[in-house]
Amino acid sequence: MDRRAFLRSGFALGCAAAAAPALTPLRLLAAPGENRLVVIVLRGAMDGLGVFPPAADREYAALRPGLAAQVSKDLVPLDGRFGMDGRLAALEPLWRAEELAVAHAVSTPYREKRSHFDGQDLLENGGEEVGVLKDGWLNRVAALLPGATAAEALSVGRDAMLLTSGAAPFGSWAPGQQLILRNDERGLLTRIYAQDPLFAEAVAMAEALSADAGERRESAAAYAARRLAGEARIAAFSIGGWDTHANQHGALGHPLAALSEAILSLRSGLGSAWSRTLVVAMTEFGRTARENGNRGTDHGTGGAALLAGGALRGGRIYGSFPGIAERQLYGGRDLEPTEDVRRHAAWAISAQFGLPRAALESAIFPGLDMGGAPGWLA
């Protein structure tokens, strides 16, 4: 059995983790050149107003009396108007080094219905309307990059990631001790498939992957950094947990820690290659400007994207923030989006891989007007 076909088939994972929870894999692509791009999907609709609040606006405390008080205790000041949730304080040195930035009041073209499924579908397929495109925008990028190939990695994720789905090849990997074969599972599989050369080889590989998983329980970001320091040039993975309808301040603890860890792992693991790296963290939509009765927020519209990397002019809040006074809210309830988040992704691709604007505005992000270059381009 061809090793590459086997690893992509995910059969070994099925043996090792049939009873394990579904995993969202890290996707990897090798491409010529030294520039790197990492796309992180923040699943669940990150509250940009909560993570990067306009704390100096008096309307903020009026809209969120409970949440604003909780966030203000450890708020990291950024630029005199905006702050950063204190649980991202480990990223403050990156802000000072101009390796971290925020694009505020952004969104996809998705409006009104506020469905996670549809919002994430549009975020990942890069289109203007739900259901029209069936492949992911990052996969279409891969198809246009000369010499791009799947970066060989362990195909152990069972959940598809639309962002990278399509005709172009992507390698995939996902961490977790759930991949470890127990001795009874190992013995049973060996007995069942001992007489079948094809499946006997698959079982042997499953055992090898299981052993590797037992020794290497690193995060997706740490693994991505290791591969990006080598042949990989594009990586994509997800961080979930951002759907905060109740007890938002407490509920954000885990995803904020995961986001901070991911960015710091990439910076540390990439070493000198960090200077050629751009990280774009995007979410499907924002959340309501007002807190609800459960000290949470509901599905909204405008949100925020996080940018990081050495190939960035950071240390700034980018975008045209519209304000959060009553008359300025979208539909009287949400942050008004003033910029298409796809624009930032498109400029990141242009900067890192040189794809022409015409292709980015048609094949990659149909209907997008990229406008002028954003200020964060180094």
pTM of the model as a whole = 0.84
Sequence-separated (6 or more) residues with CB below 8 Å from residue 2: none
pLDDT at 172: 77
- Bigger pLDDT: 155 or 326? 326
For 236, list phi and psi in degrees, rounded to 5.
Answer: -145, 135
Residues 136-142, mean pLDDT to the nearest whole number: 96
pLDDT at 2: 42
Q: Are strands 26-30 and 171-173 parallel, antiparallel or unpaired?
A: antiparallel
In a domain, 110, yes or no: yes
204 confidence band (pLDDT: 50, 70, 90): low
In a domain, 209, yes or no: no
Is the model's pLDDT at 159 over the cut of 80?
no
Instruction: Provide the domain count of the chain.
Output: 1
Which H helix or E strand runs over 88? none
- The predicted-structure confidence for 86-135, as pLDDT tens digits, reads as follows 999 999 999 999 999 999 999 999 998 999 999 999 999 999 999 899 99
In a domain, 16, yes or no: no
Q: Are strands 232-239 and 36-42 parallel, antiparallel or unpaired?
A: parallel
In a domain, 223, yes or no: no
In a domain, 90, yes or no: yes
- The predicted-structure confidence for 23-62, as pLDDT tens digits, reads as follows 457 899 999 999 999 999 999 999 999 999 999 999 999 9
DSSP H helices in the chain: 3-9, 11-16, 48-51, 58-63, 65-72, 92-96, 116-125, 137-144, 183-193, 197-215, 220-228, 248-251, 253-270, 341-353, 357-359
CA-atom Rg of the chain in angstroms: 21
Q: Which domain holds residue 114?
A: 26-170+230-364
In a domain, 158, yes or no: yes
Question: Directed axis angle between helix 253-270 and helix 220-228, to 10°?
Answer: 20
In a domain, 378, yes or no: no
In a domain, 355, yes or no: yes
pLDDT at 343: 98
DSSP one-letter code for 25 = P
Q: Indicate which CATH number applies to the domain containing 154.
A: 3.40.720
